[in-house]
C-alpha cells in the first residue's frame, strides 16, 4: 500500500477519502526547497535543455538543411522535430513531477482556494496549448517554417487573438498549477524558471521567425516583378517589318534600269561597247535604206534626165 501511495501524486492523494497523508513532510522557510535532491537539478536541466535543443537545431536546419537531406524533404524534417520535441516534452514533465514529489510540502498551499486556483491554471494552460496546436497545425507548431514549410497567413483565431504566445504562456500556467496543487515551493521556483527560459527563447525565436517570413515575402515579390517585366517586354517588343512584295518588284526594276543606263561608253582598250555597236548598226542600216529608197532613185533619174536634156 505504501508503494502505491508513493506513486500517487500529492495533488490526488490529498483528495482521496481515507488515504493516509501523514508521510507528507511540511516545511517552512529555507527548508521549503531541498537543493540536495538530484531530481531537482535534473528537472531544471531538462527545462533549460529543451528550448536550446529546438532553437539551435532549427536554426542549423534553416541554414544547412541537414535533416531535409537525411529525411528526404521538408516534411520529413518537420516530423523529426515533432517526434523529438514531443518526446522531450513528455520526459521533461515526468522529471518535473518526480522532482516536486521528492520535495517538502508547503502547508500554506493546502488551502482549498489554492486548490481551486491550481485547477483553473492547469486547465486553462492546457486549453491554450491544445488549441494553439490545433490552430497552427503540426507543421506550424513543430518548426515547419524552419524547414521551408511556411504558413500562408498569420493565425489570428483563438487563442492567438487573446495571447501573443499562447503555447509558452499555457505551458507555464500548467507548470504553475501543478506546483500549487502539489503544495510544492520547489515547483513554484521551477515554474518561475520555465517562464524565464521561455521569455529568453522568445527574444530569439520571434525575430528569427519574422526574418524567415520577410525573406520569403521578398523572394515572392521579386519573382512577381520579374514575371511582370518579362511580360511587359514581350508585349512591347516591335514585330519585324516585312516589306510588301510589290515594293520589292519595283525596287528590283529600278535597280536594273539604273544599271543599264549607267554602262560605260568604251572599255579600257577602246573597243566599242554593245550600245555603241548597236548605234553603229543602226546608222549603217539607215544609210543603206536611204540609198535604196525610191525617192533616191527618182531624184537620180530626174537629175540624169536634166543633164541629157541640157546636152541636147
Condensed to tens digits (0 to 9), the pLDDT of residues 87-111 reads 999 999 999 999 999 999 999 998 9
Mean pLDDT over 156-172 rounds to 94
Confidence check: pLDDT of 37 > 60: yes
Cβ–Cβ < 8 Å for 78, 147: yes
Give the model's pLDDT for residue 261: 52
Confidence check: pLDDT of 227 > 90: no
Cβ atoms within 10 A of the Cβ of 186, count?
27
- Torsion angle of the four alpha carbons 85, 86, 88, 93, in this order, in degrees rounded to the nearest 10: 140
What 3-state class would DSSP assign to 153? Answer: coil
Query: What integer best gives the mean pLDDT of the chain?
Result: 80
Mean pLDDT over 169-182 rounds to 96
State the total domains in the chain.
1
Q: How far apart are CA 137 and CA 200, in angstroms?
A: 24
**Is residue 45 domain-resident?**
yes
Which position has the higher pLDDT, 270 or 258?
A: 258
Mean pLDDT over 184-192 rounds to 97
**Is residue 114 domain-resident?**
yes
Binding residue per annotation — 127?
no
**Is residue 1 domain-resident?**
no
Give the model's pLDDT for residue 22: 62
> Around 144, how many Cα atoms within 13 Å sit in the side-chain half-sphere?
14
What 3-state class would DSSP assign to 242? Answer: coil
**Is residue 41 domain-resident?**
yes
**Is residue 10 domain-resident?**
no
Binding residue per annotation — 206?
yes
Confidence check: pLDDT of 270 > 60: no
Residue range of the domain that includes 166: 37-219
Minimum mean pLDDT range among 31-45, 50-64, 162-176, 292-306: 292-306
126-161 residue pLDDT tens = 999 999 999 999 999 999 999 999 998 889 999 999
- DSSP classification of residue 8: S
Binding residue per annotation — 125?
yes
Confidence check: pLDDT of 275 > 90: no
Which position has the higher pLDDT, 86 or 23?
A: 86
Give the model's pLDDT for residue 274: 44
Binding residue per annotation — 123?
yes
Burial level of 81, CB count in 10 A (0-12/13-18/19+)? Answer: buried
Confidence check: pLDDT of 265 > 70: no
Quickly tell me which residue has 500554506 as its cell: 108
Nearest to 192 by CA among 44, 295, 68: 44
Cβ–Cβ < 8 Å for 146, 59: yes
**Is residue 17 domain-resident?**
no
Binding residue per annotation — 29?
no
- DSSP classification of residue 106: -
Which position has the higher pLDDT, 187 or 229?
A: 187
**Is residue 177 domain-resident?**
yes
**Is residue 31 domain-resident?**
no
Give the model's pLDDT for residue 231: 85
Amino acid at each position: 500500500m505504501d508503494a502505491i501511495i508513493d506513486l500517487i501524486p500529492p495533488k490526488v492523494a490529498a483528495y482521496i477519502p481515507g488515504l493516509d497523508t501523514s508521510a507528507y513532510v511540511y516545511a517552512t522557510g529555507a527548508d521549503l526547497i531541498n537543493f540536495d535532491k538530484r531530481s531537482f537539478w535534473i528537472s531544471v536541466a531538462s527545462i533549460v535543455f529543451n528550448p536550446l535543443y529546438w532553437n539551435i537545431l532549427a536554426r542549423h536546419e534553416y541554414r544547412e538543411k541537414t535533416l531535409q537531406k537525411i529525411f528526404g524533404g521538408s516534411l520529413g524534417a518537420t516530423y523529426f522535430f515533432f517526434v523529438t520535441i514531443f518526446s522531450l516534452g513528455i520526459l521533461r514533465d515526468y522529471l518535473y513531477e518526480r522532482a516536486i514529489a521528492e520535495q517538502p510540502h508547503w502547508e500554506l498551499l493546502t488551502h482549498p482556494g489554492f486548490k481551486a486556483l491550481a485547477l483553473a491554471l492547469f486547465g486553462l494552460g492546457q486549453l491554450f496549448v491544445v488549441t494553439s496546436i490545433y490552430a497552427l497545425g503540426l507543421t506550424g507548431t513543430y518548426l515547419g517554417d524552419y524547414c521551408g514549410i511556411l504558413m500562408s497567413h498569420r493565425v489570428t483565431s483563438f487563442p492567438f487573438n487573446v495571447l501573443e504566445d499562447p503555447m509558452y504562456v499555457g505551458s507555464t500556467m500548467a507548470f504553475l498549477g501543478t506546483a500549487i496543487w502539489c503544495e510544492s515551493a520547489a515547483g513554484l521556483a521551477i515554474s518561475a524558471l520555465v517562464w524565464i527560459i521561455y521569455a529568453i527563447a522568445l527574444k530569439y525565436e520571434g525575430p528569427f521567425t519574422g526574418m524567415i517570413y520577410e525573406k520569403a515575402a521578398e523572394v515572392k515579390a521579386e519573382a512577381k516583378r520579374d514575371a511582370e517585366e518579362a511580360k511587359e517586354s514581350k508585349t512591347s517588343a516591335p514585330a519585324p517589318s516585312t516589306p510588301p512584295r510589290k515594293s520589292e518588284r519595283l525596287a528590283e526594276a529600278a535597280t536594273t534600269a539604273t544599271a543599264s543606263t549607267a554602262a560605260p561608253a568604251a572599255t579600257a582598250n577602246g573597243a566599242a561597247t554593245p550600245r555603241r555597236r548597236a548605234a553603229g548598226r543602226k546608222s549603217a542600216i539607215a544609210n543603206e535604206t536611204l540609198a535604196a529608197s525610191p525617192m533616191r532613185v527618182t531624184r537620180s533619174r530626174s537629175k540624169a534626165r536634166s543633164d541629157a536634156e541640157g546636152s541636147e
